[in-house]
Structure 1
Amino acid sequence: MKIIVPMAGRGSRLRPHSLTVPKPLIPVAGQPIVHRLVKDIVKVLNQPIEEIAFVLGDPAWFGDDVVSSLEDLAKSLGAKASIYRQDQPLGTGHAIMCAKESLSGPAVIAYADTLIRANFNLDPDADAVIWVKQVDKPEAYGVVKLNDNKEIVELVEKPEQFVSDLAVIGIYYFKEVSILKDELQKVLDNNIINGGEYQINDGIKGMMANNKIFKTGEVSEWMDCGNKAVTLETNQRMLGFLQADGDEQLIASTIKNDNSTIIEPCYIGENVMLKNATVGPNVSIGNNCVIENSTVKNSLIQNETTVKNANLDEAMIGNHVKYDGKFTKISIGDYSVLE
């Protein structure tokens, strides 16, 4: 089994945090989004992964440090890492084709901007599986249309009339991914463009036209990381899941606690100093931070940051920040100083 992860986009909706760190590398509950996504997929597939192919953007943005972290991630999962580049933002189908050398055999394709919780088995009768989540407002999503056999027969983007309430979440399984590659090559060769880009959906539609069987896989949780508000919500939900699972150590043994209170669930990284502070619930704090004379809840703070004299709720603070102030719902990017 292979996993293909297109992650070339910068994540403009998550600025200022994505101005210096690509969105898939921004941590949620202590780990980068893409790391959590890949680990969760490996966990639910429950079979050996031979290769993880990452499709990155410009090397000036996705540099050697990003490549190294992804290679370490693949190695930790017993897989080979392959790195590809998408130099131009030409769409989801184009991004997949940037990794065409890896497009053979069974594979999962997962876009690195969401997190999931799921427990499923792959349908042996399906040529492909598209993972979906039941939603309240299907008109805001791309949804699947099913026939009487519960097979997917059509993909409909933001339907004006009700088609189904099963939204496509951006994770796909192909029993033989080279078939998708062949269909996407036709999309590129014939310059089939939708929304100004080459789309994976047009490759999938080609497979459906050739009578390939598509089934749905449903996830129990689908968590977005598209902007500050939903990223904080995802951080909160993920902390709750991790606390219930009990599989990860969420509070490092190296923290220094001086007259401070921790209200779980929280993630607190290595060498964090808490002084006269109340932290939690639903807070993630990266390594080497200082939280002093402050109350912090429902917030996400990255590495090497100092927060003093603050009362924070629904705040998102980047790396190497110094913050001393009275504002509550803040969003501060890397290397900022507010004193």
Structure 2
Amino acid sequence: GEILVMASSPSYDPDKLVGRDLGNNYMELLRNPRHPLFNRAVMSRYPPGSTFKAVTGLIGLEEGVSRPEDYHPCSGGYTVGRGVKCHTHYSPMNLVQATANSCNAYFCYVFRDILDNRQYGGVAKGGFDMWYDYVRSFGFGRKLESDFWDELAGYVPTKEFYDRRYRSRWNSLTVISLAIGQGELGVTPLQLANLGATIANRGYYYIPHVVKKIAGHDSIDARFYRKNYTKVNPKYFEPIVEGMWEGVNVAGTGGRASVPGLNICGKTGTAQNPNGADHSTFLCFAPRYDPKIVVSVYVEHGGFGGSAAAPIASLLIEQYLTDTIRRPELVRQMKEMTIAYPMYDKRGK
């Protein structure tokens, strides 16, 4: 739960906020259309994209509607209803393979089985509320109660939200995009890092905090010492961990994050974005069997999760675990990476 590094870009020179020009400099930063005063790590509400598939898979296992050995087909995506497209890969896949290769169709099948479970009377009577409770137990849709005063809660839609939007005429196909971390879901990068810690711990997390100790006090607040358990049994986390490991080290979407000997486990996310290029995100931890560090990277308009976010995350893990970087060429590529951001007018629109 200890936050080792937190970065938000673009940033600003703190020296500008002291001295006689403080007021003018502050107003200039406030008017900047890229909002450098906005801490994206704890305040932004991003779609998690495919990193959220781990949550979908875990809920399916706990609810008994999915097993690791179950296979689902993918013919360019999930083809029921309006459908959900997917990139080209072999088919069918089981849970480990679908996690490693980030198959959209697989998790759409699992998601619908979760919501349409007859045990709860289907999606409208109890299936969606059950899904909602699971997601909240992972720390989404609410503040984590970290020691950042400006931390926001993100957003997880409720059944009542969809009842209002669709006048109670909706089903699991209507909200199928939630299966792959799209739709109305909104999370902070801190919440994604917390998801990584939860998976690394096989089912629980400590509330993230930046203060380790306070001089003159015996300890920090008691809430930072408590284990917070999800509603998913720890035994169900191993197939997801295996899939994340294979996705980086064997054959999958996170190959650019691989570092020999570090056993990095990671999940890519390419979050659809109506305003410009997709967002690139990557969630990872290492080593696999004795985790020491979790990294969550979110690059606005960065494209594929494996292209921008994954290499950055792996460099951070390599630096932390080995105290050195053995891939200077990759560092250069990341520093020189060009991202096409949307143009803004003077009103920031």
TM-score, normalised on structure 1? 0.30
Which has the bigger relative contact order, CA under 8 A and spacing at least 6?
2
Structure having the higher helix fraction is: 2
